Amino acid sequence: MDTRAAIDRFLASPGLSDATRRAYGADLRDFAAWLREHELALDDVDVRTLAAYTSELGRARRGLAPTTIARRLSAVRSLVRHALGPSRVPDAALAPSRPRRLPETPALEEVERAVDAAGSDEGPLALRDAALLELVYSCGLRSAEAVALDLGDVDLDREHLHVRGKGGKERLVPFGEEAAWLLARWLRDGRPALARGACDALFLSVRGKRLDTSMLRRLLPNPHRLRHAYATHLLEGGADLRTIQELLGHASLSTTQVYSHVDARRLRRVYDRAHPRS
C-alpha cells in the first residue's frame, strides 16, 4: 500500500475538522518519512513498529513533550484504522504518561467583565461580541462550535442551542436568561446591519460572512478558558459529572473528570479557612 496515498485519503475524510486535519497532516508526514528511512510500508505497522517509532520520538534529540507524542501516536492509529481496518490497530499502551494539568479557570467576575467590555461600545459589532462571549460561556462551547452556529440552531423560546461538536456529534445545550437577552438584541438590532446575501451564520463578520475562530481570540486571548469556567461553575453549583459530560460533548467521562480536581482545590481552600482543626 502506498503510504502517502493512504495518508491523503485519510486526511480527506469528512469526519475530520480543519484543525485536526492540519495537525494530523504534519504528524503523518513525519511518520511516513520515518517509515521510508526504515524501509517499511504502512502494511508493516504492528506493535513492534509503533514501539520503535515511539522510542524514536522520545529520544533526546527530538525532545518531544508527552502530549505531542500521544497526539502523533493517535494520528498513526487513526490512519491505520482507516487504511487497514480496526483489527490492524496495535492496542498496546505506548504513549508516555502525561502530567495532568488543571485548566486555568476564570472567576465569574472575570467572565462578566469580559462580556461587559466586549459590549461596551455602541453598534452591531459590540452587540455581536457580547452575545458571542456570553453564549460561549453560557453553553460551554468550543470556539469552532460557536462560529459554526446557524440561525436555525437557536431556540430563544425554549432557551436552548443545537450544537455540532467534534466528530459530527450533536447535542442540545440550554442557555440562561442573560444569553437569551443578548442574543435577542444581536438578532434584532445588530445582525441585520451586517447581513449580506443569504448567509445563515448566527454570528457575522463586518463583511457579512461567517466568523472564524480568530475573532474569538481577538476578543479573549484564550477563549477555551470560558469553557473551563462553564464546567467548573456547574460543578461548584452541584451538577454531576455525567451531566457536565453531556453538556460539554465529551465522548468519555474520563475527560470530564479533570473538573473534579478543580473542585477539590476549592474544597481545600474552604476547609483550610473554616475548619477549626485544619
- Same domain, yes or no, for 211 and 117? yes
Q: What is the pLDDT of residue 99?
A: 55
Q: What is the pLDDT of residue 70?
A: 83
Residue 275 has pLDDT above 80, yes or no: no
Q: Are residues 118 and 59 in the same domain?
A: no
The predicted pLDDT at position 259 comes to 76
Query: What's the rounded Cα separation, in Å, for the pair 250 and 254?
Result: 9
Residues of the chain above pLDDT 90, percent: 38
- 202 in the same domain as 132: yes
Per the CB < 8 A criterion, the answer to whether 31 and 53 are in contact is yes
pLDDT tens figures, 6-18:
999 999 988 888 8
Are 42 and 35 in contact, with CB atoms under 8 Å apart? yes
- Spatial separation of the C-alpha atoms in residues 90 and 48, rounded to whole Å: 9
User: Is the per-residue pLDDT at 278 higher than 60?
Assistant: no
pLDDT one-digit tens code per residue, 245-270:
989 998 887 778 777 766 666 666 66
- Catalytic residue IDs: 142, 166, 224, 227, 250, 259
User: E strands of 40-187, at which residues?
Assistant: 154-155, 160-164, 170-174
Same domain membership, residue 132 and residue 84: no
- Note the pLDDT tens digit of each residue in 58-115: 775 556 777 788 888 888 989 999 998 988 887 766 655 555 565 677 777 888 888 8
Terminal-to-terminal C-alpha distance of the chain: 64
pLDDT (tens digit, 9 = 90+) per residue, 111-163? 888 888 887 777 999 999 999 999 999 999 999 999 999 999 999 999 999 99
Question: Where residue 50 falls among pLDDT bands split at 50, 70, 90?
Answer: confident
**Residue 206 and residue 154 share a domain:** yes
CATH number for the domain spanning 176: value is: 1.10.443.10
Do residues 6 and 79 touch, judged by C-beta distance below 8 A? yes
User: Is residue 143 domain-shared with residue 56, that is, in the same domain?
Assistant: no
Are residue 118 and residue 195 in the same domain, yes or no?
Answer: yes
At 87, list the grid cell: 483489527
Please give the pLDDT value at position 102: 56
Over 70: is that where the pLDDT of 199 sits? yes
Q: What is the predicted pLDDT for the residue at 7? A: 92
22 in any annotated domain:
yes
Least confident of 45-49, 108-112, 179-183: 108-112
Q: Read out DSSP for 20-79?
A: HHHHHHHHHHHHHHHHHHTT--GGG-SHHHHHHHHHHHHSTTT---HHHHHHHHHHHHHH
Residue 176 in any domain: the answer is: yes
8 Å CB contact between 210 and 203: yes
Report angle CA 107, 109, 110 to the nearest 5 degrees.
70
Q: CATH number, domain at 35?
A: 1.10.150
List Cβ neighbours of 221 (8 Å cut-off, separation of 6 or more). Answer: none
Q: How many domains does the chain have?
A: 2
pTM for this entry: 0.62
CA 28 to chain centre: 21
* 24 part of a folded domain: yes
Residues 6+ apart with CB under 8 A from 238: none
More confident residue, 198 or 137: 137
Closest CA to 185 of 128, 258, 111, 248: 128
Predicted pLDDT at 154 = 96
Domain that residue 75 falls in: 3-88
- Of 22-31, 67-76, 97-106, 202-211, minimum mean pLDDT range: 97-106
Residues 71, 8 share a domain: yes
Average pLDDT of the residues in 200-228: 91
Q: Look at residue 182 and tell me if it is in a domain.
A: yes
pLDDT value of position 129:
94
